[in-house]
Chains A and B, each alone.
Chain A
Amino acid sequence: MGQINIADIRPGMVLARDVKDRNSRVLLTAGKELTDKHIKIFKMWGVTEADIQGVAHEDVEAQEAAALDPELLRKADLVTQELFTHAGSEHPGIKELARLSTMRRVRTLTEAANGH
């Protein structure tokens, strides 16, 4: 189980823990299998992550990265590392920003390669 970003949550996944909104009100209890409608409601109530059975945060991210062109990924990663020279890499907030930065730059590089 692991905390999965709402963007990576798919129907059929099973909750490992209750999902609560920002007022700690329970929206859906542990053990429930997710449907499209559930995910929509989570987004509506500002839920940004959920604990999913049998899926690890790192796996989802690794899967996402594996689907990308390795050459572009390497380039994007270098740009991010340079950008984050003074920002460190330990803090979970910074880690997430660096990951998002790399993904953003892969998207831009991919668009440039496709001549957009």
Chain B
Amino acid sequence: MDINPRDLLRGYVEVSSLPTVHLRLEEAINNPKKSMSDIAKVIREDSGLTARLLRIVNSAFYNFPSKVETISAAVTIVGTQQLSALALATSVMKMFDGIKGDLVSMDSYWRHSIAVGLAARLLATFRREANAERYFVAGMLHDIGRLVLYTKLTDISREILVEAKTNRKLLYEAERERLGFTHAVVGGILLQTWKLPTSLEEIVMYHHNPKAATRFPVETAIVHVADIIVHSMGLGTTGEIFVPPLDPEAWERLGIQPSVLASVEDQIDLQYKDALQTMLADT
């Protein structure tokens, strides 16, 4: 049986498009005539999103000395692009809210995803990349293709998980053997369907094969390494039980010393609990 990853998504109406607030947010940010208060207004129209964003801004994620009470204040302090990235992260979590974790615990799935988001953001901050929040989103979404596989191909996915565990294979290798493609490709296509920036699409598509990322090599390398760090720390899983192999070239692109890893892990430990509470709490 030949499965086309695009067909999987075509028949998946629930996730076929993003909430419209994101499109309007992107438009407002890219429109030079729109002010910060216009952007705040777009967010405020969605009360659930407003509450989720304020919770994140007031968490250990930022550790601001005083409470940020309004979205207008958040836009000014955190930045419009940063806030838009965080909005996207929480909305995608909400979209997949109804999924039952038959194959993998959803709690564990999001734990891993949030931790990779934190790790990617920390690595980006260490490299002084602009807008580190977009790395958080990229990290949060890197395995999103697995949610599509688990929901749309539940029985085959179960067999793939068993195959990987029994024969001690990497899960994405088992996926490729059985399906001819991996969760990374499905995730990349999903983000393409959502018309998200091509950088996000490439990062997700090539996070296990960073050599192929020709347009955003550093961005992809950051999430590739973040995923490996979090697997080695054992913080949740999206189904994989092993630390994925490191691409030495991707490591070189980051230009970091191994001694950085201890402090990245310390920072993840500091932020992880609070980030989980903030992101996983019900709104």
Q: How large is the interface on A (under 10, 10 to 19, 20 to 34, 35 or more residues)?
A: 20 to 34
Within 8 A of B (CB), among A34-91: 46, 48-49, 83-88, 91
Name the CB-closest residue of A to B251.
Answer: A93
> Is B101 on the interface with A (CB-CB < 8 A)?
no
Contact partner, B234, options A83, A85, A94, A96, Cβ 8 Å: A83
Name the CB-closest residue of B to A90.
Answer: B248
Within 8 A of A (CB), among B255-283: 257-263, 265
Please tell me if the beta carbons of B168 and A85 are within 8 angstroms of each other in the complex: yes
- In the bound assembly, the distance between CA atoms of A100 and B262 in angstroms comes to 7
Interface size on B, residues (CB 8 A): 27
Please tell me if the beta carbons of B246 and A84 are within 8 angstroms of each other in the complex: no
Interface centre among A6, A83, A86, A97 (most CB of B within 10 A): A97
- In the bound assembly, the distance between CA atoms of A105 and B126 in angstroms comes to 26
Please tell me if the beta carbons of B259 and A6 are within 8 angstroms of each other in the complex: yes
A-B pairs with beta carbons under 8 A, tally: 78
Q: How far is the CB of A100 from chain B (nearest CB, A)?
A: 6
Stretch from B40-48, B176-184, B237-245 at the A interface: B237-245
Residues of B within 8 A of A86 (CB): 170, 242-245
Residues of A within 8 A of B228 (CB): 87, 94, 97
> Is B212 on the interface with A (CB-CB < 8 A)?
no
- In the bound assembly, the distance between CA atoms of A116 and B245 in angstroms comes to 34
> Is B153 on the interface with A (CB-CB < 8 A)?
no
Name the CB-closest residue of B to A103.
Answer: B262
- In the bound assembly, the distance between CA atoms of A94 and B245 in angstroms comes to 9
Please tell me if the beta carbons of B258 and A93 are within 8 angstroms of each other in the complex: yes
- In the bound assembly, the distance between CA atoms of A6 and B128 in angstroms comes to 20
Please tell me if the beta carbons of B243 and A83 are within 8 angstroms of each other in the complex: yes
Q: Bits for B210-240, please: 1 = Cβ < 8 Å to A, else 0.
A: 0000000000000001001101111000000
Please tell me if the beta carbons of A100 and B251 are within 8 angstroms of each other in the complex: no
Name the CB-closest residue of A to B255.
Answer: A22
Residues of A within 8 A of B128 (CB): 22
Please tell me if the beta carbons of A88 and B257 are within 8 angstroms of each other in the complex: no
Which residues of chain A have a CB within 8 Å of any CB of chain B? Answer: 3, 5-7, 22, 46, 48-49, 83-88, 91-98, 100-101, 104-105
17 contacts between A and B (CB under 8 A): A5-B259, A7-B262, A48-B262, A83-B241, A84-B232, A87-B243, A88-B245, A93-B258, A95-B258, A97-B228, A97-B229, A97-B243, A97-B261, A98-B232, A100-B262, A100-B265, A104-B265
